[in-house]
A and B are shown apart, each in its own frame.
Chain A
């Protein structure tokens, strides 16, 4: 089989599977027949791997990849809360201007709830994931910190 086709067919499999079997599987495809039947067989098997993933051998390590950690609610919720808070501030500035108000309005209260509410989630995430996958967790924490800073920045910049 053509090298490029073999590579593309191997790419159809989930990353965890590819990292374990990709190299040898690609070599097998290159050695074998390159007909439509083989391609259909690989396509079907790759689809099966998504539906009924093989969890074994070295693939358990992939559970702690950056991609899988960022999908955890405790990882993406703080990000979503910070971005929502940032959106609220920007919408408020767009509609009402950047002038400081005497009383805190609804927007300010929502912003405070969103920013304070994510702290326990952030702490939970750090406590749970730092010991398991330090490098990946630090990357996610850096993202979360960036989102927090981004949502705080306009408040301080405009002295709201």
Chain B
């Protein structure tokens, strides 16, 4: 998984409230079933309001595939669907738990202000 430095570089929507960690977003999108690139972009946009650019999306896909966290399925015409692997699910779960702890701690601090 990439560092948060990449989050800043690759995000396409930088307004407040948007979250953009492309590899994590791709994993989260594929957690509900196999998808091809265009469907992933739309799903991620509905999930967190971030519309990934095609270059950013495929940068994440290539690295996730290299890590073995996603894998390609047989192509549908020119579209290539991907699915999350068991290892990818494990990583996603761990990352989301970390984020959950982080979010709770952050919100608690805000409430104390």
Contact = CB atoms under 8 A, between A and B. Distances in A.
A32 B66 contact: no
Contact of B59 (A26, A27, A45, A57): A45
Contacts of B55: 41-46
A28 interface: yes
Contact of B58 (A44, A45, A56): A45
Contact of B53 (A24, A26, A45, A49): A45
Given A28-B37, A32-B38, A37-B12, A42 B54 contact: yes
Nearest to A17: B62
A23 B78 contact: yes
A12 to B, nearest CB: 9
A24 B65 CA distance: 15
Interface residues of A, number: 26
Interface residues of B, number: 23
Give the interface SS of chain A, mostly helix, strand, loop or mixed.
Answer: helix
Contacts, number: 69
B53 A27 contact: no
Interface string B63-99: 1011100000001011110000000000000000000
A55 interface: yes
Interface of B is mostly: helix
Contacts of B61: 21
Given A23-B78, A24-B79, A41-B12, A54 B63 contact: yes
A25 interface: yes
Contacts of B41: 32
A28 B38 contact: yes
Contact of A32 (B54, B59, B80): B54
A29 interface: yes
Nearest to A30: B78
B62 A21 contact: yes
